[in-house]
Amino acid sequence: RAKETGKARCVMYSPRHSSPTEDDISLEAAMFQAVREGEFVLHYQPIVDATTREIEGFETLMRWKHPTLGMVSPARFIPIAETNGLINLLGAWALKAACVQLRQFQEAAKRPLYISVNISPRQFRSDKFLEVLDDAISYSGLSGDQLVLEITEGTLMIDPAHAETILGKMAERRARIAIDDFGTGYSSLAYLKRFPISVLKIDRAFIRDLPASQKDGAICNAVLDLARHLSLSVVAEGVETEEQMAYMRERGCRYVQGYLTGKPMAANVAIAALTERHYEEVMRAEATKVVQ
């Protein structure tokens, strides 16, 4: 199955939610076992400065090391976990583990970094969410401003009044909010005014065909312009080529994330990337196979 298909399942209008396949049902049964067996792991993808190529932070990406299927893509298992509620358990674990991991990254790098964690709609709406957040911050000893929480436009729009309350509480803790997959949701731009958002992550769909696609170029330019006027920072997702990197950098995009500057990698590889000079070679060598 193509990665694109997997991603499309996460959006609101997808028919997938109403009709789980047999494969999904057997995966679901295996997931509960997988939690007990500790088969879920976290990988980390560098978010780098487009000019200096220095690693500024990492996005935490969950992986399932299935004993026979190999690595299962989160595009497959996150929607299932979202349906059966397991996401609350997995998400709480990921948030806490990522915060603890960031401390080790910073010790290795000897400089401040940040950690970005994906929060699913169901997690965001859970009564326990703020408790989980506080627990992760206090247990790890991080300060809130080292944490970025990635949510989608859809998450904000399900219940904007509730979202406003939660985002306010996050801001009190100085955690930053990033809009993930920016531009692919169905929401209006008004929420950028209403909510305390710090980062826009331009979806890979708008980067993939750069620099050839004039339409994608126009969209990226418009987002960068908007972000400048609203004092938001921008991360270009899915940057795979030097040309894409140069295109975005020249138009004022400060941060990039993509296979060009580092695939998602295990924590020990991330530490090597932070401490070794030829880190790009280290990262390219560590491409991980993901089952789709």
Which positions lie near ligand C2E, rule CB under 6 A?
10, 45, 60-62, 73-75, 78, 91, 94, 118-120, 150, 180-181, 204, 237-240, 257-259, 264
Residue pair 283/262 in contact by the 8 Å Cβ criterion: yes
Nearer to Mg ion, 182 or 279 (CB): 182
Evaluate the CA torsion angle 224, 226, 231, 234 in order and state its sign: negative
Nearer to Mg ion, 150 or 286 (CB): 150
In angstroms, the CA 125 to CA 56 distance is 29
Nearer to ligand C2E, 232 or 238 (CB): 238
Residue pair 101/140 in contact by the 8 Å Cβ criterion: no
Nearer to ligand C2E, 160 or 259 (CB): 259
Angle between helices 74-84 and 22-37 (to 10 degrees): 90
State the nearest-atom distance from the C-beta of 267 to Mg ion, in Å.
18
**Footprint of Mg ion (CB under 5 A):** 118, 150, 180-181, 203, 237
Take residue 252 and report the two structure tokens written for it: 């004022």
State the nearest-atom distance from the C-beta of 90 to ligand C2E, in Å.
7
Picked from Mg ion, ligand C2E, none, the partner binding residue 202 (CB below 5 to 8 A depending on kind) is none
Residues in contact with 62: Cβ distance below 8 Å, sequence separation at least 6, in sequence order: 40, 41, 42, 43, 74, 78, 90, 94, 118
State the nearest-atom distance from the C-beta of 246 to ligand C2E, in Å.
15
State the nearest-atom distance from the C-beta of 151 to Mg ion, in Å.
9
